[in-house]
């Protein structure tokens, strides 16, 4: 901008001043794309962290499974969360089918984390997968209602 202003002013005075040299502190006219060194690191499991600390990682696992070939399979989410390092013994999952055998409109799954729960919900009635932190139930569970055994 300084260079443009100097050129504009030179037209008014009739003389041709030498433009000021551009120094390293001068900002470029266009913003450069961010480099990988400025990108946020990928989320990871934080065993000593809170449920909120682990929500980005949980959500990443959920989104990956939802984008795969079995987006409404409770087992797929449980297996992926176990592979990601979450405790299988702290998990719950709802049925993949309704009581009359139709595919579920949505399924929920959870991981108990201290006194809180990481909860995911996916399915055709949901749209984009949902991942959130909710308070744990006094029973020690996360999900209300009947869940299926995680016996695999």
What are the tens digits of pLDDT across the range 89-119? Answer: 999 999 999 999 999 999 999 999 999 999 9
| pLDDT score of 37 | 58
123: left (phi over 0), alpha (psi -120 to 50) or beta: left
- As a dihedral over the C-alpha atoms of residue 71, residue 73, residue 77, residue 82, rounded to 10 degrees, the angle is -140
Residue 58: closest CA among 38, 40, 78, 74: 78
Ranges of the chain whose pLDDT falls below 70: 1-37
Structurally, how many domains does the chain consist of? 1
Tell me, yes or no, whether 86 lies in a domain: yes
Contact 107, 123 (CB under 8 A): yes
| pLDDT score of 39 | 82
Tell me, yes or no, whether 116 lies in a domain: yes
Q: Which domain holds residue 81?
A: 51-135
Tell me, yes or no, whether 38 lies in a domain: no
User: Which residues on neighbouring strands pair with residue 130, listed in sequence order?
Assistant: 121
Tell me, yes or no, whether 112 lies in a domain: yes
């Amino acid at each position: 901008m300084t260079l443009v202003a100097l050129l504009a002013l030179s037209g008014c005075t009739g003389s041709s001043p030498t433009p000021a040299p551009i120094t390293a502190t001068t900002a470029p006219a266009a913003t450069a794309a961010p480099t990988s060194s400025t990108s946020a690191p990928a989320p990871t499991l934080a065993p000593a962290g809170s449920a909120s600390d682990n929500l980005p990682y949980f959500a990443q696992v959920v989104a990956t499974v939802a984008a795969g070939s079995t987006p409404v399979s409770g087992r797929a989410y449980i297996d992926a969360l176990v592979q990601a390092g979450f405790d299988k013994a702290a998990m719950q999952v709802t049925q993949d089918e309704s009581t009359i055998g139709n595919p579920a409109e949505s399924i929920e799954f959870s991981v108990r984390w201290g006194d809180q729960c990481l909860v995911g919900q996916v399915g055709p009635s949901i749209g984009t997968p949902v991942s959130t932190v909710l308070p744990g139930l006094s029973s020690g569970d996360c999900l209300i209602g009947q869940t299926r055994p995680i016996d695999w």
